[in-house]
Amino acid sequence: MALKISDSELEILRVIWVHDGRMMFSEIVDALHAKEFEWKNNTVLTFLARLTEKKILEVQKKGRRNEYIALLTEKDYLEQETKEFVGKVYEGEVKGLIATLVENKLISNQEIEDLKEYWDKNKE
């Protein structure tokens, strides 16, 4: 079963993932402000608490400060979300997703060439 992560929770996770999956609370707030999120500390704490309750983050005390550690990697999250999306929207048919990308010009010719090269290197 997929974990439901809100857009706001995802923004916090992205900040933590960029910093090797672990950050102190004050670092998270500073990074969010740098991305122009002007959330109050209590708002950030609420999102962090939710992520902790969902077992996506773990909290470790460092003296009087909290360090937040991601238990879910970005790679695992993307894999889970992609599988769920393709399953729900395209009934598990990846070809439908690719056709939509091509037909609606949502993928460039260069990206198609990059994918062909990737495919040739990684096919079994």
58: domain CATH number? 1.10.10.10
Give domain status of residue 1, yes or no. Answer: no
pLDDT band of residue 2 (cuts 50, 70, 90) is low
- Which domain does 99 fall in, by range? 74-122
pLDDT for 117 beyond 90: yes
Per DSSP, the three-state class of 58 is: strand
Query: Is the same domain home to 65 and 81?
Result: no
Question: Mind listing the pLDDT tens digit for each residue in 5-43?
Answer: 999 999 999 999 999 999 999 999 999 999 999 999 999
Last residue within a domain, chosen from 70, 88, 103: 70
Asked if 71 and 55 touch (Cβ cutoff 8 Å), the reply is yes
Q: Which pLDDT belongs to residue 3?
A: 74
Give domain status of residue 52, yes or no. Answer: yes
Q: Which pLDDT belongs to residue 19?
A: 97
Cα(85)–Cα(63) distance, rounded to whole angstroms?
42
Q: What is the H or E stretch that residue 24 is in?
A: strand 22-24
Q: Which pLDDT belongs to residue 123?
A: 83
Cα(33)–Cα(28) distance, rounded to whole angstroms?
9
Tokens describing residue 61: 């005390």
Question: Mind listing the pLDDT tens digit for each residue in 65-99?
Answer: 999 999 999 999 999 999 999 999 999 999 999 99
Strand partners, 58: 69
The contacts of residue 93 (CB under 8 Å, 6+ apart) are 86
Query: Is the same domain home to 66 and 27?
Result: yes
How many domains does the chain divide into? Answer: 2
Give the mean pLDDT of 98-118.
94
Query: Is the same domain home to 65 and 90?
Result: no
